[in-house]
Amino acid sequence: MTTSWLSSHKQLLLQQIKQQTLPHALMVTGVAGSGKLELVNWLAQALLCQVSFVDETNGIVPCLQCKGCHLVKQASHPDLFHVELTGNNVGVDQVRALGRFLEKTAQFGQHQVAIVHQADKLTESAGNALLKTLEEPTKNSFIVLIANDEQRLLPTLISRCRVVAIRPPIGEGLLQELGGQSDDPFVNLSHLPEITDPKIMAQFHQTREKFHYFITTTHGRMALLELLKSNDNSARWLEKIITDLVRGQSQWLHVEPTNVSFTNDLTKQQFWQIYNIIKQFNQKSAKLSQFNREFGLEKLLVDIQMILQNKENEYGTALS
């Protein structure tokens, strides 16, 4: 998939390559599906293309036809090195292998490019090793880090990179780009699975219906739990559903009519507390490699039930 919102990034990077001002280290960030890998692969081809700048005006850069471009596409270019996830993390041994790669001379006599995938999953020792590599750049070498969540990286690591933050459009602009369907003006790329697949959208509606029933009646917790456990998108959906309900209660722009009928039965404090614990759950799930998702979901629903019943819980005192 070619994403139009990458065009401005490509133009800037091409200009920097041509003027020989491209930073030695780049960090490409953005939500899943934003086109990070597409942009990085394109940049690798631009740097390793043997024909470079055939027709910059018409955008035929890289040429995509030379041996260098084909080798990049096939992930077999000798001057391109990938550091990828093994297990739950990117380890120090992989980063050291990257250092050894950069010590060599480019076989095609141009540039060397190293791509660190999922850099936000670097272990602390791997991050420190990579920092040393970034501080001692070799000639004509470029290191590109890809990260969904740059906040998980060492601040010193971020400071050594030029950050390229990809910000896709939201709402109608995104739907036109992807050809998806949604009546939510806040729709964004995190909603990609459901807006492009009717079956997943149906699962979302089912989850929303059961969650609405749960917070309206405090019943149906186990049925909701089983549904949440069976779908990898479910916790993200809970955050979206409660956000829509907060918007509805606050009369912020759009909210579906079915969401409004019972929001007045809950206080703003209850809504915000439910929103916060769902957000905390998603943050823990994303950041902790040993996180027990099933147990976490069960505890999350118990805590929400306690909030609905105005009982004390670990997130705060009893609500009045």
- Let me know whether 10 and 141 are in one domain: yes
- Let me know whether 198 and 151 are in one domain: no
- Let me know whether 114 and 234 are in one domain: no
User: What confidence score (pLDDT) does residue 216 get?
Assistant: 87
Any long-range contacts for 177-180 (C-beta under 8 Å, 24+ apart)?
A: 177/3, 177/4, 177/5
SS3 55: strand
User: What confidence score (pLDDT) does residue 286 get?
Assistant: 76
Query: Which of 5, 76, 77, 69 lies closest to 43 in space, CA to CA?
Result: 69
- Let me know whether 20 and 138 are in one domain: yes
Distance CA 227, CA 205 (A): 12
CB within 8 A of 186, min separation 6: which ones?
170, 171, 247, 253, 254
Contact 35, 5 (CB under 8 A): yes
How many domains in the chain? Answer: 2
SS3 38: helix
Distances (CA, A) of 35 to 5, 17, 130, 210, 308: 9, 20, 24, 33, 40
- Let me know whether 25 and 155 are in one domain: yes
- Let me know whether 140 and 271 are in one domain: no
SS3 141: strand
Domain boundary among 141, 168, 195: 168
Contact 60, 54 (CB under 8 A): yes
**Counting every residue, how long is the chain?**
320
- Let me know whether 70 and 208 are in one domain: no
SS3 content of the chain, % helix, strand, coil (to 5): 55, 10, 35
Distance CA 183, CA 248 (A): 14
Domain boundary among 123, 145, 168: 168
Has residue 219 been placed in a domain?
yes
Has residue 318 been placed in a domain?
no
SS3 89: strand
Has residue 173 been placed in a domain?
no
- Let me know whether 148 and 182 are in one domain: no
Contact 182, 152 (CB under 8 A): no
Domain boundary among 168, 200, 221: 168
Structure tokens of 196? 């492009």
Going 44 to 46 to 47 to 50, the CA torsion angle's sign is positive
Per-residue pLDDT of the chain (320 residues), as tens digits, is 557 788 889 989 988 988 889 999 999 998 777 889 999 999 999 999 988 655 555 555 788 888 998 899 888 999 999 999 887 789 999 999 999 999 999 998 789 999 999 998 899 999 999 999 999 888 899 999 999 878 788 899 999 999 999 887 666 666 666 666 666 666 666 666 676 678 888 999 999 999 999 998 889 999 999 999 998 888 889 998 998 888 777 666 555 544 445 555 778 888 889 999 999 998 888 777 678 999 999 999 999 999 988 754 444 444 33
Residue 128, domain CATH = 3.40.50.300
- Let me know whether 194 and 151 are in one domain: no
pTM as predicted = 0.70
Residue 271, domain CATH = 1.20.272.10
User: Domain containing 218: what range?
Assistant: 178-308
Has residue 92 been placed in a domain?
yes
**Alpha-carbon torsion, ordered 181, 183, 189, 193, to 10 deg:** -50
